[in-house]
Chain A
């Protein structure tokens, strides 16, 4: 009985305590409940995509440029790759009008169009203003894409391509409607974004995710950097030239041992012209007179596959480029101070030195990047078509 009484008292005390606790904490609990329910759609499973992890290669920057509102996921990359290669991405389905990113960004050319089309043109035949830049290691671009740094993100670039008359010459509506009409894409969007809704922003985000996976880090130089291989005497002499001021002094703008991206992603006037007539140089962005004739220093990874060279594609071969830096520089008030060899018209390389420098530059060839199936065209598109 005592025991029973004790239970009863305990129950009574407990009840009163519970009531008191609930009274005290009810506003608090309601707040907690409202917070916890914020991210969960009612009556649906939470979307928890598999993250796409980027492994940082040896010596590479640890800071990636991945926008907070577009985290990389396995599903997003898969969708992006499919869209990147789908010829209907420009909003047209006629076999003669197909155009996707891959029409010009070709894997065998390090996602550049190559010398076959020195002045790339869009679906209407109009040429782009500048020659192309390759898509290599753009996940480390700090947010100054293009020759003059006018584009702030890959997502922004995709959206620009869609409406550019010299590229897709299309509209977001046409692109979205076309992708919506293709059976199978909804499932890929669900996998990527947790919803079957197809929007132009999601299309841009998915393609950007795929482009951020295009990493080149498996060249002979990368293996040399890690002590796995030795450079040949010719390549080593070329590396010395590349990375010394008394040599060719390429490293201040194009990187090297301490910067294996082989670009600073900065902009320089490198002495090509005496008069600057291109309205879309770096000056177009900054308004600084000293930036006239300034363009981005491109990455030298796989550079032998990404001709023609310079912003206007004026040089078809690397030999021409080396000849230019050796003897043909033009001094102007805008010349970058790092071009200290300008006083001699160039770096004045001998034929043997040119050969050595070329040998080193070819150690930046990444065959795996050019043939990696993860970067290549899907065998089939969502509707089992092979466009």
Chain B
């Protein structure tokens, strides 16, 4: 028979070790201090150089349409950090597709999970929308991302963006517009019905943020403010006229093409960068 005192000692030791292990659990996932940097992305929305005011018919686009914006919802994905040595850091963690909603404050900042290696970076780029490879139907089952689904008949997957508003039409009536971007369709014979679709068009595009060079050191956190300049969706290089395209464009590839070319040009910018020393 074993000595009961040894059993007591062993039991107490086991309890002590177990508790010490539990107490230390929270610390195991924390990277060593100073090992890498962090970036936080903030998303804001401007019009004509000022923070966007919603539901106010105070804006005029390049085509001369007076308009208001009610809400904006969109995805950005595949954020790339380009180093000066030519290497690219792809933010490719599980959270690599980010949803932004002007009605949901929590979506308007994104603390990127990935640690960022120290060094000099010459620019930041990202995909507006979702790439063909990743844009799979039913990958978002929960709201709010779920409500961005793009109908199967029209190509499936998810809207890249919903920019909803109203404009004063040429007949002096205020009408809604749904500037929705996603997978386009090519129709045969001018018949806008799913049976007439001959091809789908992947309209997602890459955005290279101008003046986005930065340096990051060990232990630093850099906050980037990514600005969507709303007026530029409707200008440069293409003048987008709501009177010409009407209130809906999901089944008008020519209209989506104009919008995407404008988006690639200068809709996005980095307005401010600030650094927090850890």
Contact pick for B5, options A11, A331, A336, CB 8 Å: A11
- The reply to whether A343 and B149 contact each other, CB–CB distance below 8 Å, is no
Count of CB-CB pairs between chains A and B under 8 Å: 124
For window 21-54 of A, CB contacts with B under 8 Å fall at 21-22, 25, 28-29, 32
CA distance A245 to B179 in the complex (A): 12
Measured CB to CB, the closest approach of chain A to B197, in angstroms, equals 11
Any B CB within 8 A of the CB of A342: yes
Contact partner, A244, options B16, B175, B251, Cβ 8 Å: B251
Nearest B residue to A258, CB-CB: B149
- Asked if A243 and B153 sit within 8 Å, CB to CB, the answer is yes
Q: A340 on the interface (CB 8 Å rule)? A: yes
**Residues of A with C-beta under 8 A to B141:** 59-62
State whether the Cβ of B31 lies closer than 8 Å to any Cβ in chain A: no
Q: A18-B5, A331-B174 are in contact. Are A257 and B248 (CB under 8 A)?
A: no
Asked whether A14 lies within 8 Å of B247 as measured between CB atoms, the reply is no
Min CB distance A205 to B, Å, is 25
B174 / chain A contacts, CB cutoff of 8 Å:
331, 333
**Which residues of the other chain, B, contact A32 by a CB distance below 8 angstroms?**
15, 19
| Cα distance, A142 to B15, chains bound together (Å) | 43
Instruction: Point out which of B19, B176, B249 has the most chain A C-beta atoms below 10 A from its C-beta.
Output: B176
Task: Indicate if the CB atoms of A258 and B137 lie closer than 8 Å.
Answer: yes
- Does A350 interact with chain B (Cβ within 8 Å)? no
In the complex, which residues of chain B have a beta carbon less than 8 angstroms from the beta carbon of A28? Answer: 16, 19
Interface flag for A246 (CB, 8 Å): yes
C-alpha gap A17/B10 in the complex (Å): 11
Residue of A nearest to B169 (CB): A343
- Bound form: Cα–Cα A196–B70 in Å: 53
Which residues of A sit under 8 angstroms from B173, Cβ to Cβ?
331, 343
Give min CB distance, A25 to chain B, whole Å.
6
**Is A15 on the interface with B (CB-CB < 8 A)?**
yes
* Residue B164 is within 8 A (CB to CB) of chain A in the complex: yes
Interface string of B240-267 (1 = CB under 8 A from A): 0000001111110000000000000000
List the B side residues contacting A108 at CB < 8 Å. none
Question: Which B176-204 residues have C-beta < 8 A from chain A?
Answer: 176-178, 180, 192-194
**Within 8 Å of chain A (Cβ to Cβ): is B278?**
no
Kindly list chain A residues whose C-beta atoms are within 8 Å of the C-beta of B12.
Answer: 21-22, 25
Report Cα–Cα, A18/B5, bound state, in Å. 7
Q: Is the CB of B146 within 8 A of A259?
A: yes
Asked if A290 lies at the interface with its beta carbon under 8 angstroms from chain B, I say yes
Residues B146 and A340 in contact, CB atoms below 8 Å apart:
no
Q: Is the CB of A244 within 8 A of B143?
A: no
- Cα distance A11–B8 in the bound complex, in angstroms: 13
Chain B contacts with A in 1-52, Cβ cutoff 8 A: 3, 5-6, 8-9, 12, 15-16, 19
Min C-beta distance of B249 to chain A, whole Å: 8
Question: How would residues 152 to 171 of chain B score, 1 for a CB under 8 Å from any chain A CB and 0 otherwise?
Answer: 11101010000011100100
Residue among A25, A252, A341 facing the most chain B CB atoms (10 A cut-off): A252
Tell me if A338 and B143 are in contact (CB < 8 A).
no
Interface centre among A255, A266, A340 (most CB of B within 10 A): A340
Contacts of A61 in B (CB 8 A): 141-143, 146
B20 to chain A, nearest CB (A): 11
Residues of chain A contacted by B92 (CB below 8 angstroms): none
- Provide the bound-state CA to CA distance between A25 and B6, in Å: 16
- Mask of A56-75 contacts with B, CB within 8 angstroms, 1/0: 00011111000000000000
Contact B177 A337 (CB under 8 A): yes
Q: Given the known A-B contacts A14-B6, A246-B192, are A338 and B164 also in contact in the complex, defined by CB atoms under 8 Å?
A: yes
**Chain A residue contacts of B90, Cβ below 8 A:** none
Q: Is A195 an interface residue (CB 8 A)?
A: no
Contact call A257/B151, Cβ cutoff below 8 A: yes
CA A22 – CA B15 in complex, angstroms?
12
Question: Which residues of A have CB within 8 Å of B275?
Answer: none
**A337: contacting residue among B138, B150, B158, B165, CB under 8 A:** B165
What residues on A are CB-neighbors of B148 within 8 Å?
258
Interface positions of A from 326 to 364, Cβ below 8 Å from B: 331, 333, 335-343
Q: Which residue of A lies closest to B166 (CB)?
A: A337
Question: Per-position contact with B for A1-21: 1 when CB-CB < 8 Å, else 0?
Answer: 000000000110011011001
Q: How far apart are the CA atoms of A93 and B165 in the complex, in Å?
A: 55
Distance (whole angstroms) from the CB of B242 to the closest CB of chain A: 11
Residue in B146, B151, B176 whose CB lies within 8 Å of A338:
B176
Q: For the complex, is B55 an interface residue (Cβ under 8 Å from A)?
A: yes
Contact between A21 and B192 (Cβ–Cβ < 8 Å)?
no
Residues of B in contact with A (beta carbons under 8 Å apart) = 3, 5-6, 8-9, 12, 15-16, 19, 55, 70-71, 137-138, 140-143, 146-154, 156, 158, 164-166, 169, 173-178, 180, 192-194, 246-251
Give 19 CB contacts A-B under 8 Å.
A17-B5, A17-B9, A21-B9, A25-B15, A25-B16, A61-B142, A62-B141, A62-B142, A63-B142, A244-B154, A245-B249, A264-B143, A290-B55, A337-B70, A337-B178, A338-B176, A340-B176, A340-B177, A343-B176
Shortest beta-carbon contacts, A-B, top 8: A258-B149, A340-B247, A14-B5, A337-B164, A337-B176, A245-B248, A243-B151, A343-B175
